[in-house]
Structure 1
Amino acid sequence: MKRFGAQIANHLCPGDIVALVGDLGAGKTHISQGICAALGHQGEVTSPTFALVNEYTDSTPPIMHFDLYRMENAQELLDIGWEDYLERDAILIVEWADRFPELIPEGTHCIHIEHLPQGRRLSYDKV
């Protein structure tokens, strides 16, 4: 999953959004780790489940890493400045993006991760 994330990173530009959708333990954070490492982040990458967003400003471009799992409604995402983050010259990675699809803008790179008995299936589409 980390290798896949690194491959994705090669195709991302400032302003891009990566929506990660999958069950608990599917590999969303591992994909995030691969993206962050490939873009130059040197530190640890953990799912911001309780912090809601982690900012990695040592990468090029900066990365804003969101986890929507614990949010109850879309207003909570707006309250932490979602619209301001969309205006930044950064890459946004959003775990559990399917929680509030109405706030995910057009042009978002969506990666769906599905558990299978023999591994995982990844699918990609652009919203």
Structure 2
Amino acid sequence: MTNKETIKLTSLADTNQFAKKISAEVKPGMFLLLVGDLGSGKTTFTKFLLSELGVKEKVTSPSFVIMNEYETPTLKICHLDAYRLDVEEDLLFYLDAPDQTLNIIEWPNQVNFDYDSYPCLKLTFEKQTQDQERLLTIERNN
């Protein structure tokens, strides 16, 4: 990954504003790689992002089902939790057309997959001492 920056999110409103900003960048064939410990804000960010993209249904964590799919009139979205996956074939089993969908992957490092062959945005969330405060590292490969 190249092009790295770090920002501080001090509230849910900050996270929502960041999701609005990122919504202008996402496109089919892109991977959003969400890294961070449990409770660091990965799914919360995804809820804000998908709302901004026009998803009307309730957005939930994919932890138990591994993948949730959503659609807007212009975009198909796959939200996947790779924590229980470990090989590329497992990931591709769920992502049948990764070049045609927006692929949001939580725990992407669990799978040995060449994400860099796709446009990628890696977001690393780190909880800080204040309840809603997060340090967010953003890396782009394009």
- Fold shared per TM-score above 0.5: yes
Once residues 81 and 55 of structure 1 are traced to their aligned partners in structure 2, the CA distance between those partners, rounded to angstroms, is 10
Match of 1:103 in 2: 113
Once residues 104 and 4 of structure 1 are traced to their aligned partners in structure 2, the CA distance between those partners, rounded to angstroms, is 26
Structure 1 vs Structure 2: percent identity of aligned residues? 32
Once residues 39 and 26 of structure 2 are traced to their aligned partners in structure 1, the CA distance between those partners, rounded to angstroms, is 24
Match of 1:91 in 2: 102
Q: Which has the higher contact order (CA 8 A, sep 6+)?
A: 2
Label 1:104 to 1:48 Cα distance change in 2 as closer, same or farther (>3 A): farther
Label 1:110 to 1:49 Cα distance change in 2 as closer, same or farther (>3 A): same
Counterpart residue identity of residue 40, structure 1: G
Q: Which runs of 5+ in 1 are unaligned?
A: none
Match of 2:50 in 1: 36
Report the TM-score, using the length of structure 2 for normalisation: 0.77
Match of 1:60 in 2: 74
Once residues 41 and 59 of structure 1 are traced to their aligned partners in structure 2, the CA distance between those partners, rounded to angstroms, is 9
How far the C-alpha of 1:59 sits from its partner, in A, is 5.3
Runs of 4+ in 1 over 6 A off after TM superposition: none
Counterpart residue identity of residue 28, structure 2: P
After superposition, the CA RMSD in angstroms is 1.7
Task: Say whether residues 1:112 and 2:124 are aligned partners.
Answer: yes
Report the TM-score, using the length of structure 1 for normalisation: 0.85
How far the C-alpha of 1:104 sits from its partner, in A, is 4.3
Q: Which structure has the greater CA radius of gyration?
A: 2
Number of aligned residue pairs: 122
Match of 1:69 in 2: 83
Once residues 79 and 48 of structure 2 are traced to their aligned partners in structure 1, the CA distance between those partners, rounded to angstroms, is 12
CA offsets, 1:23-73, max 9 Å, x none? 0000100111111111110010011112111110235311111111233x2
Label 1:22 to 1:77 Cα distance change in 2 as closer, same or farther (>3 A): same
